[in-house]
Amino acid sequence: MKPTNVRAKSLVPVARGGLLDRRSFILSGLAFSSSLAVSNAVASDKISTSKIDQSLPPWMKTPGNGDTEYGLPSKYENHIKRDVAEHTPETSIFSIWHTPIENQRGIITPNGLHFSVNHNGVPDIDPQKHKLMIHGLVDKPLTFDVESLLRYPMVSAINFLECAGNTAPNAVSLTPLDQTAQELFGQVSGAEWSGIPLKHILQEAGLKPTAKWVIVEGADGGSHARSIPISKLLDDAIIALYQNGERLRPSQGYPMRLFVPGWEGNANVKWLHRLEVTDKPAFTKDESGLYSDILDDGKIQRFSFHMDVKSVITRPSGKQVLPEKKGFYEISGLAWSGYGKIKQVEVSADGGKTWAIAHLDQPVLSKSLTRFYIPWQWNGNSTMLLSRATDEFGRVQPTRAHWRDKYASYSFNHYNAIQAWHISSDGVVENSYA
Ligand SMILES: Nc1nc2c(c(=O)[nH]1)N[C@H]1C(S)=C(S)[C@@H](COP(=O)(O)O)O[C@H]1N2
Ligand SMILES: [Mo]
């Protein structure tokens, strides 16, 4: 970008606390030529006005290196990686890897950075030996190998995937933990998933009139399994074989997984090998234990498949530091809903007293991550940044207090409350309960 060094003239406030109309950046001709350490800070008084440097950097004076067969990110980006949640030797097989959500732009998570939850480790499956079986209440039981499935017509869709336990620390910890967006929100990712609509496979097998549910089982030692209503499988569920244009990564279920758009992560059974059509749910260990929600009155909600509407500001977010007071920043984040499209994201820069509508980046897709942003001029005082998403069905994120009223105090799945980041006067961003 060419530094133009034209100062802000028409900065249009849209809410208190310094939130600006998004055209402020463009209309005022602000140019940001030098990037600052942390956050996507915009320093209007650091715009370079020095003479253009005509000397050549060393890499312009010699031929470059050879390329590699499978590309990797720049070595200068090596610090951007997944982090694994703390575990003990007893729980080490159950691993939770968080995606560095604050370093992602757009709505697609690179495959190597997709979050991952593995109850029984990551199996090493030979695709030549892997089989998918479908049996139970069908006219004709079927067995497929990977090769024959790859010959079916496929569809693709960009969807988010979120673990029911994403952001659990904010549900259960009585005081807000000082953690990053990655640690708190990193169990959600976005990808383009390609595969075979389940309805084609179910139709081929022929459903008996009593068929209502399918018990879906993975080929990991420990056999993660879930009961899924037939209606979802006949709707938008796929047997996913590709993720962002390449075959699934082992940690995402290679060679195939169930993908049920908008539904809680654990229903998206990885390393898929068996579909048993039944008339009732099996109440597997995975659905009756860890993944049933305990309500405030002690009753248990048997199934809570949908991931509800949710959002988080990813920049600035937990443990980042705003480098400059009275600086310009772009507040940016992600919103999603397991029911459909995001209709609106509101942002507050004064702790929730006033709100402005953020800009939604295209494309805004159903059951997909949606990128929002809004310009902000920080006045240097301590404050709180919040985001509140609404989906196309009018579902709005609750406050943390409302969320906690609904569930038992120790319940932690499906936490979707409004997130607040506290900004201290020295620019430190910290997780907060508004
Ligand atoms: N077979 C199998 N499928 C599984 C799991 C598992 O441990 N085994 N983990 C589930 C959970 S809890 C989640 S959140 C998602 C995570 O998918 P990802 O690892 O591709 O992000 O996979 C689900 N499918
Ligand atoms: Mo999960």
Reading the block at residue 277, the tokens are 């059509």
Q: What is the pLDDT of residue 25?
A: 64
Angstrom CA distances, 46 to 6, 41, 239, 376, 386, stand at: 12, 11, 51, 17, 28
Neighbours of 282 (CB within 10 A): 18
Closest ligand (CA of 189): 1
Quick one: which atom of ligand 1 is closest to the CA of 253?
A: 20
- State the chain's maximal CA–CA distance in angstroms: 78
Q: Is the pLDDT of residue 30 over 60?
A: no
Fold classification of 116-298 is Sulfite Oxidase; Chain A, domain 2 (3.90.420)
Q: For 221-273, what is each residue's pLDDT tens digit?
A: 988 999 999 999 999 999 999 999 999 999 999 999 999 999 999 999 999 99
Quick one: which atom of ligand 1 is closest to the CA of 165?
A: 14
Q: Is the pLDDT of residue 418 over 50?
A: yes
Quick one: which atom of ligand 1 is closest to the CA of 271?
A: 1
| Å from CA of 18 to ligand 2 middle | 37
* 401 phi and psi angles, rounded to 5 deg: -60, -45
Q: Could you tell which of 268, 274, 291, 307 is best to mutate to test the pocket of ligand 1, judged by most ligand atoms within 8 Å of the CB?
A: 268
Domain extents for the chain? 116-298, 310-432
Quick one: which atom of ligand 1 is closest to the CA of 219?
A: 1
| Å from CA of 372 to ligand 2 middle | 25
Task: Please give the mean pLDDT across all residues of the chain.
Answer: 91
What dotted CATH number matches 310-432? 2.60.40.650
| Å from CA of 163 to ligand 2 middle | 4
| Å from CA of 233 to ligand 2 middle | 19
Cβ(274)–Cβ(216) below 8 Å: yes
Pocket of ligand 1 (CB under 6 A): 114-120, 161, 163, 218, 220, 224, 251-252, 265-266, 268-271
* Residue nearest (by alpha carbon) to ligand 1 atom 23: 266
Reference 182, options 83, 92, 307; nearest CA is: 83
Q: What is the pLDDT of residue 28?
A: 57
Neighbours of 209 (CB within 10 A): 7
| Å from CA of 366 to ligand 1 middle | 21
Closest ligand (CA of 269): 1
Query: Three-state SS string across 120-178, please?
Result: CCCCCCCCCCCEEEEEECECCCEEEEHHHHCCCCCEEEEEEEECCCCCHHHHHCCCCCC
Pairing status of strand 272-278 against strand 131-136: parallel
Q: For 339-368, what is each residue's pLDDT tens digit?
A: 999 999 999 999 999 999 999 999 999 999
Q: Is the pLDDT of residue 51 over 60?
A: yes
Closest ligand (CA of 165): 2
Selected residue with higher pLDDT from 208 and 35? 208
Cβ(117)–Cβ(128) below 8 Å: no
| Å from CA of 396 to ligand 2 middle | 23
Q: Could you tell which of 97, 162, 163 is best to mutate to test the pocket of ligand 1, judged by most ligand atoms within 8 Å of the CB?
A: 163
Q: What is the pLDDT of residue 50?
A: 67
| Å from CA of 342 to ligand 1 middle | 25
Cβ(306)–Cβ(268) below 8 Å: no
- The arithmetic mean of pLDDT across residues 26-30, rounded, is 56
Reading the block at residue 247, the tokens are 């075959």
* CA separation for the pair 140, 157 (Å, rounded): 29
| Å from CA of 21 to ligand 1 middle | 40
